[in-house]
Amino acid sequence: MNNDEVLVNVEGVSKKFCLDFKKSLWYGLKDISSAVLGIQSKAELRKSEFWAVKDISFTLKRGECIGLIGHNGAGKSTLLKMLNGLIPPDEGKIEMKGRVNALIELGAGFNPILTGRENIYNNGSVLGFSKKEIDDKLDAIIEFSEIADFIDSPVQNYSSGMKVRLGFAVAAQMEPDILIIDEVLAVGDIGFVLKCFNRIDAILQNSAIIFVSHSMPQVARICSEILLMDKGKAKYQGNNVSEGIDQYYSQFKIVNGNLSDSKKASVSKLLINGQEPDPNAYLPIDRLSDLVLDIEFNVAEDYSTPELYIAFLNKDMTNVAEFIRDDITQSLSNRQGKISIRLTIPKIQFSKGLYSITIGLLANRSGEILFRQQSIAHFQVIAEHNLWAPFQLHGQLEQLEDLI
Amino acid sequence: MSSKNLKITTYIPNSSKTAFFSSLVAILKDIKPAHELAVRLFKRDITSQYRESFLGFFWVLIPPLLTSGLWIFLNNNSIINVGATDIPYPLFVIIGTILWQIFAEGINQPLVSVRANKGMLTKINFPREALLLSGFYSILFNLGPKMFVLAIAFYFYKIEPALSLLYFPLGVLMTSLSGFAIGLLLTPIGLLINDVSRGIGIILPFAMYLTPVIYPEPTNGNVALLMHYNPLATLVTSTRDWFSGHLTYIPNEFTFLAGLTFLLLIIGTLAYRISMPIITERFGG
């Protein structure tokens, strides 16, 4: 097999989109009549139109996977629709070589009244399998889905996860030259998602994949190239997947967290690595460098020995790490309503990504919360590798001379 | 896997000069997969429809039977007088309303089928004609119970089977296809704006009263003139007369209409194919 063969060739592709619904319908009617009557329509923007996709180019060979990332509305889905041949580009040219399959909606063609088994045929037909192909693959599909017990009950009784399983099990039988995947692995339990990824890895051996996802660990896992889109344009494009993901993360607007203000305590000053945090930006911190927090609290004088609590949340607002003091005999002491502390966390081992800091002050070790503010400050960990896990542990690996 | 002979698909901006010819080629190439998918979708729709229903076929029969019943009742009680019919009036009206029903289903079906699968259109690349075909297959399927009722009526009114009865299926098919052709031509616009389906809903019953469905074609006066120019009159009257044995040949008007219907079907399918990407774009999703 020739692995240098270019399967996807996208050259300067653009697509217009109309925001105004009534106008969009009107333009649609005009476009239909000019298309049917054979009149060439112009590429210029009409009133209320904008470029949903502008001037995108890339090529993809067999065995390569491009990750399309970007905010909602960046133009990813529109680009996918063009690649999938659902809508034509307004400018540019797309060449797709070989059999193209799309994993854009799992379980398309399902009818809720019918059984899982019947719907395998419906979904398979929609994806372009012949009846015989489905007959041959039926057992494999049911086995992959792991829902053999429910295969003869109506799909309307399935949970959403089960529908995804069945949908993916059918789609997993595809043997495309080009595979388009759009955010379909968001549902489903982690075990199944990993199974899907293994299948995608297998498909990738023989095909080119265009992968759209908001899950950067997933993107990092399979993509060899990144196209970061912003307002229809390519903001970053290249083989440095890490760089692309970093740029994607840095586009995020910061959501400042809730303050539970009991009037008993407040933060009067906060420094991260000696800098005052900008509430609207992520402070870049290199992995394995020290994180130093200087915090000054105002605390009501009734609370003589309060205790500090720090938590780190990732982009999905999951609590990934906490700090509490190991030594329970020690405590902070309230000095005329003020407490200043310095917390040093050496060699942070967070993996690449965005994190926020939650600061809390308790009346004592397990006491009343005097102060708690979620996402009081934000930082971005700059690292080389992308991981699924929130931590990339620092360790030393050496090969031993002798067997143990 | 041989990489030499992979099919290359190219997407470029709508190049209208070649659109007609290339679309025609594309449609012809897609006929087989479209048919396979259409059969699957048709089975899916019919199975789920009947699995969810206790009355089943009853719903196919109820509209023409109710309309017939109403007019038979009105006529028997001399509330209205439709004039003399050359076959018993109940038979006349049953054939008429069933034929009209077939025509109306033909008009509505393309839009209904495509609308029902709107979600799939914006996500998956499949031969778009499959939706039209599956719609047509359900029309054919629904002809079954209707023909059954007509067979009973045929037996009940002891009609002499004549050779012209052989033309009757042709009449039924053309009635259905002519409706389908009109519906197909309206589909691209109807998908974008729902005024079309609303309009169809209002115009169809109105058109029925301008067609000799429940009364015989008058021989003079304004109505006769109107009937003369109403192509549906030809369809309904010829088909009914073939059924009852009062017409023994294919009238020229009918042949002309059949030709026109096929032409419209081809134009409609082409227009559908060409406009589908534009519609998909406006659907969003």
Chain A interface mutation, best of B196, B278, B283, highest count of A Cβ atoms under 10 Å: B278
Last residue within a domain, chosen from A197, A220, A250? A250
d(CA B100, CA B111): 18
B9 touches chain A (CB under 8 A): yes
Domain count across chain A: 2
> Using a CB-CB distance cutoff of 8 angstroms, which residues of chain B are in contact with residue A87?
277-278, 280-281
Cross-chain residue pair B125–A102, CB shorter than 8 Å: yes
| Cα A296 versus chain centre, distance | 36
Are A237 and A320 in a shared domain? no
Same domain, A344 and A215: no
Is A15 within a domain? Answer: no
Q: Please report where in the chains the tokens 């009107």 appear, as a residue.
A: A26
Task: Say whether A88 and B20 touch across the interface (CB within 8 A).
Answer: no
The answer, yes or no, to whether residue B219 has pLDDT greater than 50, is yes
Instruction: Please report whether residue A235 resides in a domain.
Output: yes
Q: Could you tell me if A198 and A321 lie in one domain?
A: no
Give me the residue from A29, A82, A89 closest to B192, CB to CB. Answer: A29
Task: Give me the half-sphere count of Cα atoms (radius 13 Å) on the Cβ side of residue B225.
Answer: 2
CATH of the domain at A183: 3.40.50.300
Q: In this structure, is residue A32 part of a structural domain? A: no
**Which residue in A53, A95, A125, A156 has the most chain B C-beta atoms within 10 A of its own C-beta, making it the best mutation to test that interface?**
A125
Contact A84 B36 (CB under 8 A): no
Residue B4 pLDDT exceeds 60: no
Which one of B13, B16, B36 has the shortest CB-CB distance to A89? B13
Residue at A180 is within a domain: yes
Contacts 24+ apart (CB under 8 A), A141-148: A141/A166, A141/A169, A141/A170, A141/A172, A141/A173, A142/A117, A142/A169, A144/A168, A144/A169, A144/A172, A144/A195, A144/A199, A145/A116, A145/A169, A146/A192, A147/A116
Any A CB within 8 A of B16 CB:
yes
Inter-chain CB proximity B11 and A96 less than 8 Å: yes
Look at residues A250, A273, A296 and tell me which one is the last residue of a structural domain: A250
Of the residues B2, B48, B124, the best mutation for testing chain A's interface (the one with the most A CB atoms within 10 Å of its CB) is B124
Taking an 8 Å cut-off on Cβ atoms, the answer to whether B275 and A32 are in contact is: yes
Low-confidence ranges of chain A (pLDDT < 50): 1
* Same structural domain, A83 and A222: yes
Residue among B16, B24, B123, B133 with most chain A CBs within 10 A, to mutate: B123
For the record, the structure tokens of B59 come out as: 């719903």
pLDDT score for B134: 96
Residues of B numbered 41-80 whose beta carbons fall under 8 angstroms of chain A's beta carbons: which are they? 41, 44-45, 47-48, 51-52
Q: CA-CA distance, A304 to A331, in Å (whole number)?
A: 9
Chain A residues in contact with B126 by the CB 8 A cut-off are 126-128
Task: Please give the pLDDT value at position A259.
Answer: 65
List of chain A residues whose C-beta atoms are within 8 Å of the C-beta of residue B192: 25, 28-29, 32
Most confident of A43-57, B10-24, B96-110, B111-125: B96-110
Q: Of the residues A207, A224, A250, which one is the last residue of a structural domain?
A: A250
The answer to whether B16 contacts A85, with C-beta atoms less than 8 Å apart, is no
Residue A19 forms part of a structural domain = no
In 10 A of CB A142, how many CB atoms? 17
Residues of A in contact with B23 (CB under 8 A): none
User: Is residue B159 within 8 angstroms of chain A, CB to CB?
Assistant: no
CA distance A233 to A165: 34
Q: Are residues A361 and A245 in the same domain?
A: no
Residue numbers of the domain that contains A111: 58-250
Chain B positions touching A127 (Cβ under 8 A) are 124, 126
Whether residue A130 sits in one domain with residue A179: yes
Is A104 found in the same domain as A234?
yes
pLDDT tens readout for residues B15-66: 655 567 778 888 888 899 899 999 999 999 999 888 888 887 788 788 778 8
ipTM at complex level = 0.82
Q: Is the pTM of this model over 0.90?
A: no
Alpha helix locations (H) across chain B? Answer: 19-51, 58-76, 89-116, 118-121, 129-156, 168-192, 195-209, 222-229, 231-244, 252-283
Residues A236, A94 share a domain = yes
**Spatial distance between the Cα atoms of A254 and A279, rounded to a whole number of angstroms:** 7
Same domain for A233 and A311: no
Query: Is there a single domain that holds both residue A284 and residue A327?
Result: yes
- Residues of chain B positioned with their CB less than 8 A from the CB of A38: 16-17, 19-20
The pLDDT of residue B77 is 86
Both A237 and A300 in one domain: the answer is: no
Task: Tell whether B6 is within 8 A of chain A (Cβ).
Answer: yes
Q: Looking at beta carbons, which residues of chain B come within 8 Å of A114? A: 44, 47-48, 51
What residues are paired with A226 via a beta bridge? A67, A238
Tell me the chain A residues in contact with residue B274 when contact means C-beta distances shorter than 8 Å: 32, 35-36
Residues A222 and A282 in one domain: no
Evaluate whether residue A18 is within a structural domain: no
Q: How is residue B10 written in tokens?
A: 């190219």
In this complex, do A95 and B3 lie within 8 Å of one another by their Cβ atoms? no
CB atoms within 10 A of CB B29: 11
* Among A57, A86, A96, the residue to mutate for chain B (most B Cβ within 10 A): A86
On whether residue A234 sits in a domain, the answer given is yes
SS3 state of residue B83: coil
**Which residue type sits at B64?**
P
Q: Could you tell me if B40 lies within 8 Å of chain A, comparing CB atoms?
A: yes
**pLDDT band at B1; cut points 50, 70, 90:** very low
Is B120's CB within 8 Å of A108's CB?
A: yes
Is A404 among the domain residues?
Answer: no
In 3D, which of A397, A288, A301 has the Cα closest to residue A351? A288
pLDDT band at B269 (very low <50, low <70, confident <90, very high): very high
Work out how many CB contacts closer than 8 A connect A with B: 160
